[in-house]
Amino acid sequence: MQGISRDISRKRALTATGLLALLMLLTRTGHFGDALHMPDASMAVFFLGGVYVRRHGALAVLLILAVAIDYVAIRYAGVSDFCVTAAYAFLPLAYAALWYGASACTRLVRHARPLPAWLGLTVGVVVFASLSFLISNGSFYWLGGRVAHPDLAGWAANAWQWGPRFVATTLAYAGSVLLAQAVWVQLRDARRARDVAA
């Protein structure tokens, strides 16, 4: 997509990482939100990081921030620690799947017009959010010790119960940002064409 450059300046990478960190800080305490809280944007944060930042150090910073937010939320804000099991160790892998999947998608659509690029990245959101969810949910189901007798049918039912919500939330956040950029690029290009013609 035009507007997504191959090389990202340090300043832009820091700005994007800061904005993504802020979004995670504002939303990470609740998976699906409620009347007072927005749904958790963490999966979208890691996908968007793969699109706009693509630096390994920024991935590490956001992973550390996610763990720190969870620690503070559990220790001081009364959030349940139900999901913190041995499977929690698989979250970096799940988030890395989003980050590096998005980075690969970005390379594929970099030179496309805004709408086809947006569609390609949107498909990428669904694919890599699904993969990320299957990693985190699968590790929790099989290794978390919360299911008395885990079996494949039980995991499939559990994944089907929760997966669409996680993927839809990720798609809502990431798709909105990507669509806003596609519209902005389209408007900018139209303005430039008018200026050249004038």
pTM of the full structure = 0.90
For 37-74, how does the pLDDT look when each residue is reduced to its tens digit (9 = 90+)?
Answer: 688 999 999 999 999 999 999 999 999 999 999 999 88
Total count of residues recorded for the chain: 198
CA nearest to 13, candidates 103, 125, 124: 103
- What pLDDT is stored for residue 37 in this prediction? 64
Integer-rounded Cα Rg, in Å, for the chain is: 18
- What pLDDT is stored for residue 3 in this prediction? 54
Structure tokens at 194: 């008018």
- What pLDDT is stored for residue 31 in this prediction? 52
Cα–Cα distances in angstroms (integers) from residue 143 to residues 69, 85, 136, 139, in the given order: 23, 8, 10, 5
Cβ atoms of 50 and 99 within 8 Å: the answer is yes
- What pLDDT is stored for residue 117 in this prediction? 86
* 3 φψ region: left (φ > 0), alpha (ψ -120 to 50), beta (else): left
- What pLDDT is stored for residue 38 in this prediction? 83
Structure tokens at 33: 């939100």
- What pLDDT is stored for residue 35 in this prediction? 46
Residues of the chain with pLDDT under 70: 1-7, 30-37
Task: Give backbone dihedrals phi and psi of 11, rounded to 5 degrees, phi first.
Answer: -65, -45
Burial classification of residue 192, based on how many CB atoms lie within 10 Å of its CB (0-12 exposed, 13-18 middle, 19 or more buried): exposed
DSSP symbol at 110: T
